[in-house]
Amino acid sequence: MKVVLRNPRREIELAGPMSVVALLNKLELKREAVLVIQDGTIVPGDATLADSDVVEVRPVISGGAV
Amino acid sequence: MKCRVCRGPAVIDVRRQNANYCVEHFLRMCRDQVNKAIEQFAMLNPQDRALVAVSGGKDSLAVWDLLSEAGYEADGLYVGLGIGDYSDASRGCARRFADQRGLELIEVDLLEDFGFDLPSGARAARRVPCSACGLTKRHLFDKAAVQGGYDVVVTGHNLDDEAAVLFGNALRWHTDYLARQLPVLPERDGFPKKVKPLVRLGERETAAYCVLRGIDYIVQECPLAAGNRHLGYKEALNEIEATSPGTKFDFYFGFLARAAALFRPIAEADHQNLAGCLGCGAPTTAELCAFCRLTERATRAGRGAGAGAEVDGAAVLSAHRGPVADGA
């Protein structure tokens, strides 16, 4: 799957399927600090991302970076 | 995950509420929390003219959207700080938001209207950029609200902001700041009324609100804010929140319920010493308000560097006596 990270904007490729929680653990990110976004909506923590998915991991802490 | 309201598929969890929400009921929860804050702290009357401090970020656009949707008359004020591409992008977000909804956006540009940009002003005044930014925006929002006849200034401070500021002020016992850290500051002594309708929502919720409402806000961080102390406080509180959901809410609302009143006499004492700034007339405890001092130093440094000549102090002061913005 393609994962778009912000601040600065960059992309990484990871093998799916993978749950959102597993993705954030792999990226060493706290769920409270980010939103996972796909096609203009939020992907819940228990969702499974497919190998072909494109998601954005967006920081929500003002001034924060991912 | 299932929505706590309708049991349909949820898109987001709010851990301090031990609840998950679908899109519809998450948006409703956000509206309910804002309405509750407005009522709980008597922030707004239905007939009030509100001036929303707009940065182009998630919180200011969320609160502007929530108030407009609720039927309040709310104009926006954007202050261009001259922070390179970041300011260009944030101004674009603010303008697009206003244009798409037919809302009034007033703009002030620090360089055009006052002769300096924030990075150079902070350097000249030897201030931390976030400090110079904060005092500049507070001054310009206050001034625009008073000159424009607005009843209230609305800011997008959320629960995380308030908890982090409270944490920092309590760590160093800045009692004068603690005395003023309230969700509502009443109009008095030349200052407009100021309110923070997002205090019952965390910043993950305001970001989610924007995503689900299709609000295009600036995600890029301010290049001058990276690594600041406030961000460190937020991270520390989030570490605690991760193992004890609801801590930030209890910390801030516990302060309001049980401690804030203890600091009130300090705020009252500060008001006793207020007088009009010799430069702009704004209320201040010094001869010149902090913004006039910043402007004086910044423009003196700028002219000195450009022309190699000293600047007459009176001329510097008169340079920022004009109107804040068209319509303000």
Residue A66, in any domain of the structure? no
pLDDT digit string, tens, across residues B214-251: 999 999 888 888 778 888 899 899 999 989 999 999 99
Annotated domain spans of chain B? 44-263
Thinking of the domain B44-263, which architecture would CATH place it in? 3-Layer(aba) Sandwich (3.40)
pLDDT digit string, tens, across residues B60-77: 999 999 999 999 999 999
Say whether residue A52 is in contact with chain B using an 8 A CB cutoff.
no
Q: A-B interface: how many C-beta pairs under 8 angstroms?
A: 82
Interchain proximity A64–B208, CB inside 8 Å: no
Domain with A43, as residue range(s), is: 2-59
What pLDDT is stored for residue B315 in this prediction? 33
- Contact between B51 and B152 under an 8 Å Cβ cutoff? The reply is yes
Interchain proximity A41–B23, CB inside 8 Å: yes
Residue A65, in any domain of the structure? no
What pLDDT is stored for residue B231 in this prediction? 87
Distance between CA atoms of residues B93 and B100, nearest Å: 11
> What number of helices (H) and strands (E) belong to chain A?
1, 7
Distance between CA atoms of residues B241 and B227, nearest Å: 20
Q: SS3 of B185, please?
A: strand
Global confidence as pTM: 0.90
Residue A8, in any domain of the structure? yes
What is the rounded average pLDDT of the residues B199-222? 96
First-to-final CA distance of chain B: 48
pLDDT-derived band of residue B316, with 50, 70 and 90 as boundaries?
very low
pLDDT digit string, tens, across residues B5-63: 999 999 999 999 999 999 999 999 999 999 999 999 999 999 999 999 999 999 999 99
Say whether residue A59 is in contact with chain B using an 8 A CB cutoff.
yes
Q: Nearest CB to A42: which of B160, B208, B238?
A: B208
Return the CATH number at A21: 3.10.20.30
At B1, the amino acid letter reads M
State the pairing for strand pair B49-54/B73-80. parallel
Distance between CA atoms of residues A18 and A3, nearest Å: 12
Q: Nearest CB to B231: which of A45, A58, A63?
A: A63
| Surface-to-core class of residue B258, CB atoms within 10 Å of its CB (0-12 exposed, 13-18 middle, 19+ buried) | exposed
| Residue B201 predicted with pLDDT over 90 | yes
Interchain proximity A63–B222, CB inside 8 Å: yes
Q: How many domains does chain A have?
A: 1
| Residue B208 predicted with pLDDT over 80 | yes
Name the percent of chain B in helix, strand, coil, to the closest 5. 55, 10, 35
| Surface-to-core class of residue A41, CB atoms within 10 Å of its CB (0-12 exposed, 13-18 middle, 19+ buried) | middle
- Contact between B71 and B239 under an 8 Å Cβ cutoff? The reply is no
